[in-house]
Each structure stands twice: as structure tokens, then as C-alpha cells.
């Protein structure tokens, strides 16, 4: 498998896990569908933004420290990984609250 295939499979699996966590949380809460979806999307968006920002800062810091001109290319692999982990984190935080 190439890296692109792994990224696509990982994003698909991440989407399935996030949907499953939403359905679990929706059964536990007795609120309107609109309120559930809006709070869920806010948690996901905030967590994904934080994860991508931290990953970008970490990659640029390591690139500056090692003085490697090819360091930012690692964002091709670490960017989607940050999106997946950020989405899972946001879904779990929403589920716990």
C-alpha cells in the first residue's frame, strides 16, 4: 500500500468512528437533532484545528532545529494523521460532556 492509500483508508476509518461516536452520544442525550449536530461539529472543528496547528508548529520547529529543507514535506503524512486524531479527540470530548 502506498502512503496515499493509507491516508484515504485512515480518513475513512476516522469518519466511521466519528459517526459511531455521534450515534452513541445521540442515544444518550435527549435534545433536538439540530442542537446535537451543531455542538458535535463545533467540538470536531475546534479539536481538528488545534491538532493541525500543533502539528504544523511541531514540524516547523523540528525543521528549524535540524535545518532540513525537506522537513515540511512530513506534513503530507502528519497532516491527515492530525486530522484523524483531532476528530477522534473532539468526538470523545463531546461524548464525555
What residue segments make up the domains of the chain, in order of their start?
3-96
Distance of CA 73 to the CA centre of its chain: 19
Cell numbers given for 75: 506534513
Q: Residue 28: its pLDDT value, please?
A: 85
Q: Residue 43: its pLDDT value, please?
A: 94
Cβ of 21: how many Cβ atoms within 10 Å?
19
pLDDT above 90 (res 5): no
Q: What is the pTM (predicted TM-score) of this model? A: 0.84
Give the model confidence (pLDDT) of 8-22 as tens digits.
Answer: 888 889 889 999 989
What number is the average pLDDT over the span 71-84?
88
pLDDT above 80 (res 1): no
Q: Residue 6: its pLDDT value, please?
A: 81
Amino acid at each position: 500500500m502506498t502512503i496515499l492509500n493509507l491516508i484515504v483508508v485512515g480518513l475513512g476509518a476516522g469518519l466511521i468512528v466519528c459517526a459511531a461516536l455521534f450515534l452513541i452520544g445521540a442515544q444518550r442525550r435527549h435534545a433536538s437533532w439540530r442542537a446535537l449536530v451543531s455542538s458535535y461539529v463545533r467540538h470536531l472543528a475546534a479539536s481538528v484545528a488545534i491538532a493541525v496547528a500543533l502539528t504544523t508548529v511541531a514540524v516547523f520547529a523540528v525543521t528549524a532545529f535540524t535545518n532540513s529543507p525537506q522537513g515540511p514535506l512530513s506534513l503530507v503524512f502528519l497532516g491527515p494523521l492530525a486530522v484523524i486524531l483531532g476528530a477522534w479527540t473532539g468526538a470523545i470530548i463531546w461524548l464525555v460532556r
